[in-house]
Amino acid sequence: MHDDLGHELSLDRPVRRLVSLVPSLTEAVAATRREALVGATDWCTHPTDLDVPRVRGTKNPDRTAIEALAPDLVIANQEENRELDVRRLREAGVPVWVTRIETVDEALTSMRRLFDEALGWGVPDWLTEAEQAWSEPVAPHRGTVAVPIWRDPWMVVGPRTYTDDLLQRLGYRNAFGADPGPTADADRYPKVELAQLDTSEVDLVLLPDEPYVFTAEDGPEAFTTAPTRLVSGRLLTWYGPAMLEARRTLA
């Protein structure tokens, strides 16, 4: 079998010991077969009562600790994790399955392959429900939004990202998305000036709580023209059970 990047793996299934280096996939695994999860990153905050050994962050995992946990499989993501860490884990004899997700459909397909093919657990009920929920037609146009992910410098969600596709599926035009216009570049997370965000052409600025933690006191005060709304970053960026909540809440 091959992961999303075409790397060939030979696994004994069903997988019984799993380390996750992706917060959203950690939540997905915990919702499906929690007892199989033997390690996760410090950033794996859902479910909130998850009690497993932590292996540092997504960009600096403790490879020695991961090896000591003797996982049958480590799951990673092309965007969230470094190729260097994946390669060194594999060189140490640790199997790693890497996902690649930039759209809602890719998220659903990738997770179906992960749970059914790689883990040998079958398709979980929450994934079937998510597939049904996101099979609905694209919603009518609701307005133009911008999604900052950092400030000083300001950075936003751009094209070819899961969040951009999710917003489009919900009927929102991302001001810096697939058709960014003359003021933005083709970066997936471009740097922009505040003036490009705080404009009457943006109907709503969504301020998530990750990776930058925007709060009522840190973020909205910068805007004098465009209205703002605080939103869960998990709903905008996490694939897995969060996709069901995102469909209901963000719509």
Q: Report how far residue 27's alpha carbon sits from residue 239's, in angstroms, rounded to the nearest whole number.
A: 9
User: What is the tens place of the pLDDT at every residue in 200-221?
Assistant: 999 999 999 999 999 999 999 9
Count of beta carbons in the 10 Å neighbourhood of residue 152: 8
Give the separation between CA 200 and CA 223, rounded to whole angstroms.
Answer: 11
For the four alpha carbons of 5, 8, 14 and 16, in that order, the dihedral sign comes to negative
pLDDT at residue 90 in the model: 98
* pLDDT at residue number 140: 86
Please list the alpha-helical segments (H only) found in the chain: 23-33, 63-68, 83-91, 104-112, 125-133, 162-169, 194-197, 233-237, 242-250
Tens-place pLDDT, residues 242-251: 999 999 898 8
Domains 18-133 and 143-250 fall in the same CATH topology: yes
Residue 197 has pLDDT above 50, yes or no: yes
- Rounded to whole angstroms, how far apart are CA atoms 31 and 24? 11
The DSSP-derived string for 84-101 is: HHHHHHHHTT--EEEE--
In angstroms, the Cα distances linking 157 to 24, 108, 188, 189 are 18, 21, 7, 5
User: Is pLDDT of 181 > 80?
Assistant: no
Q: Write the CATH number of the domain with boundaries 18-133.
A: 3.40.50.1980
Q: Tell me how far apart the alpha carbons of residues 103 and 243 are, in angstroms, rounded to a whole number.
A: 12
Per-residue pLDDT averaged across 41-48, rounded? 96
The domain ranges of the chain are: 18-133, 143-250
What integer pLDDT is reported at residue 184 of this predicted model?
Answer: 46
Quote the pLDDT of residue 245. Answer: 93
- Region 130-141: mean pLDDT is 90
- Lowest pLDDT segment from 23-37, 57-71, 76-90, 170-184: 170-184
Question: Per CATH, the architecture of 143-250 is what?
Answer: 3-Layer(aba) Sandwich (3.40)
Is the omega angle on the peptide bond into residue 211 within 30 degrees of 0, that is, cis?
yes
What is the chain's mean pLDDT, rounded?
A: 94
Residues sharing a CB contact under 8 Å with residue 160, sequence separation 6 or more, in sequence order: 102, 178, 188
pLDDT for position 139: 80
pLDDT at 186: 64
pTM beyond 0.85: yes
